[in-house]
Amino acid sequence: MTFGNGFRVGSAALAACLTVGLAAPAQAAYPAEWSAPVKPFRIAGGVYYVGTKGLAAYLIVGKQGAILLDGTTAENAALIERNIQAVGVPLTSVKWLLSDHAHNDHVGALAQIQKDTGARFAASAGDRAALESGAPRGDTDYDVTGYHFAPIRLDRVVQDGESVAVGDAVLTAHLTPGHTPGCTSWTTTVSEGGRSLRVLFLCSITVAGNILVGNRAYPTIAADYEMTFAKLATMKADVLLTSHPEMAHVLDREARRESGKPDAFIDPSALPTLVAASKARFEASLAAAGKAVR
């Protein structure tokens, strides 16, 4: 099985940890850093990191409440909630939950967090069926049951360019399908040190085990990836944030800032660099897949 960041679990180990009827494999199947706690921290403006060492969750805080983007795995629900409270936000102040894509390593905790906060949940139409059933859509080179999660009640379907707001905390949706049919990147603008910064929360753009040729459950997958790469090539971000923090060096940047580099998170080159590298890997995977079916 290949997880979203390329981590693989052998089929025998996966089979041993799966239990019929449960949403996800046992925690032992995950990389240890996915559940390793880190001290939550402010990134810029009202944007906070409240995730774990290996999986991101972002809290966007405004004067009237907060928005939580992603929740990591189910077993991390209490940890994420403690991190939210640790930055001074009561759970009842979280008014909206958002996801970037419907895989259990990013949305597994959201059903519990929704219950504990009373927040509403918004996502794009492409992932609605997966989110409400707990079963991701798409053919993969691993057992997709390893990505099942507790179903999440969807309160709003967002379209491309629509925003979700809690007072002055505003996130705008950008549909970037491929990794999943409803993969959604989100943007906001914050003020930091007298500067206006464009923040992009990028949905995964890795192939990560997706079948690119002959995907019966998701036949437009290759075209969607290509559309997403073209779209992202036109976008700009001063601060790039990702659901697997290592992809944008989020924790490394925080360490550099703590060591005396206040602008460590500001890097307009981070988005085009990551997009170019990811596009090249996608094209190589697509070419290999095409040769394999001929």
Does residue 211 sit within a domain?
Answer: yes
Q: Name the domain count of the chain.
A: 1
Dump pLDDT digits (tens) for 157-196. Answer: 999 999 999 999 999 999 999 999 999 999 999 999 999 9
pLDDT value for 98: 98
In a domain, 197, yes or no: yes
Scanning the chain, the segments in alpha helix (DSSP H) are 11-17, 77-86, 104-107, 110-117, 128-133, 221-232, 250-258, 270-293
pLDDT (tens digit, 9 = 90+) per residue, 23-78?
A: 333 433 789 999 999 999 999 999 999 999 999 999 999 999 999 999 999 999 99
Q: Which amino acid is at 43?
A: I
Do residues 185 and 174 make contact, with C-beta atoms less than 8 angstroms apart?
yes
Q: Is residue 6 part of a domain?
A: no
| C-alpha to C-alpha distance for 175 and 184, rounded to whole angstroms | 5
Looking at residue 294, its pLDDT comes to 54
Quick one: pLDDT at residue 147?
75
Residues 108-134, mean pLDDT to the nearest whole number: 97
For residue 227, what is the domain's CATH number?
A: 3.60.15.10
For residue 209, the enclosing domain spans: 32-293
- 151 lies in some domain: yes
Find the helix packing angle between 110-117 and 77-86, rounded to 10°. Answer: 50
Whether 1 maps to a domain, the answer reads no
**pLDDT classification of 293: cutoffs 50, 70, 90:** low
Residue 16 lies in a domain: no
**From the CA atom positions of the chain, what is the Rg in Å?**
18
Q: Is residue 217 part of a domain?
A: yes
Q: How many CA atoms lie within 13 A of 162 on its CB side?
A: 12
Phi, psi of 250 (to 5 degrees): -60, -50
Predicted pLDDT at 275: 98
Alpha-helix runs per DSSP H in 168-239: 221-232
Instruction: Kindly report, residue by residue over 190-241, the tens digit of the pLDDT.
Output: 999 999 999 999 999 999 999 999 999 999 999 999 999 999 999 999 999 9
Kindly state whether residue 19 falls inside one of the protein's structural domains.
no
